[in-house]
């Protein structure tokens, strides 16, 4: 993944046109991923599950707070985006009545309307994906416009059920969250 960040950053620097779409079920991106998205000169659209599309949404006990924890982490990331002056980074949430969301992947649009490469597989791009779990990811470089179009349609299908969220909206959502959730954040980021 480090090579991907280098490639897209160099391309964006030389051509001023590089757009990436990255999706994971959870907003628990590792510090490595968050740092590289913020430092990369490409445009980024990040898609994650809305609280209602999170599998823990109807859980009982302490698990019912997990979707709220991800909203706290999203809010903190969007604050970092604002502080870095990055208006070209957006966070969207997948929401579809009766559905949960567990999509994963990256689509890279270098200077065209169709993706030139995609990465698909099991990583959630979190701490566990890097340091704990055995994950599999494949990078596809399509050799035909037909395959590029199919990859693009897949991304559009995911985005058709999503909505961009703002820092202000997330701040309102997490208002009143128990303070102990903030203390659990390091555990959640390493274990979920």
Report domain 2-191's class: alpha beta
Q: What is the pLDDT of residue 185?
A: 78
Kindly report, residue by residue over 12-59, the tens digit of the pLDDT. Answer: 888 878 999 999 999 989 999 999 999 999 999 999 999 999 999 999
Domain boundaries, the chain: 2-191
Element (H, E) at 23: strand 19-23
How confident is residue 122, by pLDDT bands cut at 50, 70 and 90?
confident
Cα gap 86→102, rounded to integer Å: 27
Kindly report, residue by residue over 133-156, the tens digit of the pLDDT. Answer: 888 889 999 989 999 999 999 999
> In 3-state terms, what secondary structure has residue 44?
strand
| Whether the predicted pLDDT of 109 surpasses 80 | yes
| Whether the predicted pLDDT of 100 surpasses 80 | yes
Residue from 189, 177, 184 nearest 130 by CA: 189
Between strands 43-49 and 19-23, the pairing is parallel
């Amino acid at each position: 993944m480090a090579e991907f960040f280098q490639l897209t950053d160099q391309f964006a620097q030389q051509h001023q046109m590089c757009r990436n779409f990255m999706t994971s079920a959870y907003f628990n991106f590792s510090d490595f991923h968050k740092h590289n998205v913020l430092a990369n000169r490409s445009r980024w659209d990040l898609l994650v599950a809305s609280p209602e599309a999170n599998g823990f949404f109807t859980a009982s006990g302490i698990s019912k707070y997990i979707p709220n924890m991800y909203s706290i982490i999203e809010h903190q990331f969007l604050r970092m985006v604002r502080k870095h002056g990055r208006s070209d980074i957006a966070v969207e949430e997948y929401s579809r009545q009766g559905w949960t969301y567990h999509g994963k992947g990256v689509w890279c649009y270098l200077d065209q309307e169709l993706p030139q490469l995609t990465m698909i597989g099991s990583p959630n791009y979190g701490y566990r994906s890097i340091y704990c779990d055995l994950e599999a990811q494949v990078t596809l470089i399509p050799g035909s416009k037909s395959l590029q179009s199919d990859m693009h349609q897949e991304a559009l299908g995911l985005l058709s059920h999503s909505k961009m969220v703002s820092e202000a909206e997330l701040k309102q959502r997490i208002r009143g969250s128990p303070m102990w959730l903030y203390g659990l954040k390091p555990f959640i980021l390493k274990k979920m």
